[in-house]
Structures are given as C-alpha cells and as structure tokens.
Homo-oligomer: A and B are copies of this chain.
Amino acid sequence: MTGFEIRSFIDQSIRFFWRESFGQIYPELKRLASDGLIKPVRADAPSGRASQPWRITPAGRDLLKEWLEKPPQEQPVRDETLLKIFFSRHAAPETQHELVRQTRERAMSKLQALHAAEQLILSHPDHPDLVRSLIVLERGLLAARTQIEWADSAAALLEAQANGGAGAVIKRWRRKS
C-alpha cells in the first residue's frame, strides 16, 4: 500500500481505537524501508509526487510476528472528563450535571456509528478478518454502553447528593452493590 492508502484504511476501519497522521506515516515508511522491513513495489524511483506503494519483506513479516506476540503496553490513561468532574467542586453545580450529560450524548452518537459499522461488517460474511473485526467492534459497543450506564449512575448520585446529602449518596451506592 501507499502511505495515503494506509491512512485511508486506518480511517475507514479502525478509527475507533487508532489514528495516524501523515506526519507520522511518511517518515516512518522511510525508516522501515531503510531498515529493510518494507521495500518499494516499483523498482524505478517515483517522479515528483507520484504514488509510491510499499510491500512488506520477509524480515518485516518476522518482526511483525514478534511484535504481535509481545504483551501490549498499557496505554497511559488520561481522561480529561473524569479529571474535570473530580475537581468540579470548584465550579458551579450546574457544571457537573452538564459534564455528565455531554458525556452521555457523545456515547450515544458513538453507539450509533458503531451500529452502522456492524452492518458493514456483517454484509461481508466471507471476509477473512470477520472474527477479529467483530471482536474489536464488540469492544467499542461495550465501551459506549458502559459510558451511558455510567452517565446515568453519575446523574443519580449527583441527584442523591442534591436532595439528601452524603447520607443519601452512600445509601444509593450500597443499594446497587
């Protein structure tokens, strides 16, 4: 594939959990080529800005396998929404509800988009990546539903706090556990 095609592929298939910019892709392709992990499909040097497809080499395939077997590194968790809610004592009470409400809304529209993606995947039942696509999709669906569930629970806790104070909050917390 060309760098451009790689970017398009990412945007069309795994955009829910991975993104890349051209500023990353093009320098990285050169690095991979100079390491002998990929090589240009066409022997002759491209003129100007003509498209430049690349193909993986045997050495590249080996390294890919190796990478797949290494335990994935945990991504650094940095959730700005939770950070704001945690410190929202210093904001107007309205702000807390608003933060929760917006989170719910975003999760709802994400859920919509994922349902569309589901239809697309199911319409190609013979695609070799079917299982893995569904597994990855499932992660998105569960995450979105969880987000909605959390927003509702958070709203209820804020409600309890407003009406009955800390006592009501703890009562409600114990009830669900």
State the A residues within 8 Å of B (CB).
14, 16-19, 61, 64-65, 67-69, 71-92, 95-96, 98-99, 102, 106, 122, 125-126, 128-136, 138-139, 142-143, 146, 149-150, 153-154, 157-158, 160-161, 166-167, 169-170, 173
Contacts and interface: CB of A to CB of B under 8 A. Distances in A.
Given A86-B136, A133-B86, A146-B146, A166 B126 contact: yes
Contacts of A82: 14, 17-18, 136, 139
Contacts of A131: 157-158, 160-161, 166, 169
Contacts of A17: 77-79, 82-83
Contacts of A106: 74
Nearest to A174: B122
A166 to B, nearest CB: 5
Given A76-B19, A90-B68, A85 B166 contact: no
The 5 A-B residue pairs with the shortest CB-CB distance in the complex, in nearest-first order: A68-B91, A72-B80, A17-B79, A72-B81, A131-B161
Contact of A169 (B98, B134, B150): B134
A72 B99 contact: yes
A154 to B, nearest CB: 5
A136 to B, nearest CB: 5
B19 A78 contact: yes
A125 B171 CA distance: 11
B86 A68 contact: no
Nearest to A13: B86
Contacts of A83: 14, 17-18, 72
